[in-house]
A and B are shown apart, each in its own frame.
Chain A
Amino acid sequence: MSEMRRVTAICNGTVIDHIPAGHALQVIRMLRIDTNRSNPVSLVMNVPSDKLGRKDVLKIEDLELSQEELDRLALISPHASVAIIRNYGVAEKRVVELADELVNVASCTFSNCITQNSREPLPQKLRVVSREPMEVRCYYCGRGQDLDEIVENIL
Chain B
Amino acid sequence: MSDVVTMDDLTNKEIVSILDDAERLVPVAKGDVHLPLLEGKVLANMFFENSTRTRMSFEAAMKRLGGSVLNFTSVGTSVAKGETLFDTMQMVDGYADVAAIRHPQQGAAQYSADAVGIPILNAGDGAGNHPTQTMLDLFTIREAHGTLEGLNVVLVGDLRYGRTVHSLSHALVRFGATLTLVSPESLRMPEEIVSDLREHGADVTETVNLDAALPDADVIYMTRIQKERFPDDDEYSKVAGIYMLESSDMASAKNGMIVMHPLPRVSELHPSLDSTENARYFQQAFNGVPTRMALLCRCLGVKVPKKVK
Instruction: Enumerate chain A interface residues (CB-CB to B < 8 A).
Output: 108, 110, 112-117, 119-122, 135, 137-144
Contact = CB atoms under 8 A, between A and B. Distances in A.
Nearest to B104: A112
A121 B86 contact: yes
B111 interface: yes
Interface in B78-129: 82, 84-86, 103-108, 110-111, 114-115, 125-129
Contacts of A119: 82, 84
A114 B114 contact: no
A114 B191 CA distance: 21
B6 interface: yes
Interface of B: 6, 82, 84-86, 103-108, 110-111, 114-115, 125-129, 190-192
B85 A142 contact: no
A122 B86 contact: yes
Contacts of B126: 112, 141
Contacts of B104: 112
21 contacts: A110-B106, A112-B106, A113-B106, A114-B85, A114-B107, A115-B107, A115-B111, A119-B84, A120-B84, A120-B85, A122-B115, A135-B192, A137-B192, A139-B110, A140-B106, A141-B105, A141-B106, A141-B110, A141-B126, A142-B128, A144-B192
B84 A141 contact: no
A122 B84 CA distance: 11
A141 B192 contact: no
B273 to A, nearest CB: 33
Contacts of B192: 135, 137, 142-144
Nearest to A118: B84
B86 A113 contact: no
B191 A141 contact: no
| 10 closest Cβ pairs, A-B complex | A140-B107, A141-B107, A141-B106, A114-B107, A144-B192, A114-B105, A114-B108, A114-B111, A140-B110, A113-B107
A143 B125 CA distance: 13
Given A141-B110, A144-B190, 19 more contacts: A112-B105, A112-B106, A114-B111, A116-B105, A117-B85, A119-B82, A120-B84, A120-B85, A120-B111, A121-B84, A122-B111, A137-B192, A140-B107, A141-B107, A141-B126, A142-B128, A142-B129, A143-B106, A143-B192
Nearest to A135: B192
B65 to A, nearest CB: 30
Contacts of B191: 144
Contacts of B115: 122
Contact of B84 (A108, A113, A117, A144): A117
B107 A138 contact: yes
A138 B110 CA distance: 11
A120 B106 contact: no
A142 B86 contact: no
Residue among A117, A120, A121, A141 with the highest chain B CB neighbour number at 10 A: A141
B128 A141 contact: yes
Nearest to A108: B107
B107 A142 contact: yes
Contacts of B86: 120-122
Most buried by A among B106, B115, B125, B192: B106
Contacts of B106: 110, 112-114, 140-143
B111 A142 contact: no
Nearest to B112: A114
A113 to B, nearest CB: 5
Given A119-B84, A122-B86, A137-B192, A112 B127 contact: yes
Contacts of A113: 105-107
A75 to B, nearest CB: 17
A144 B84 CA distance: 25
Contacts of A143: 106, 192
B88 to A, nearest CB: 11
Nearest to B196: A129
A7 to B, nearest CB: 41
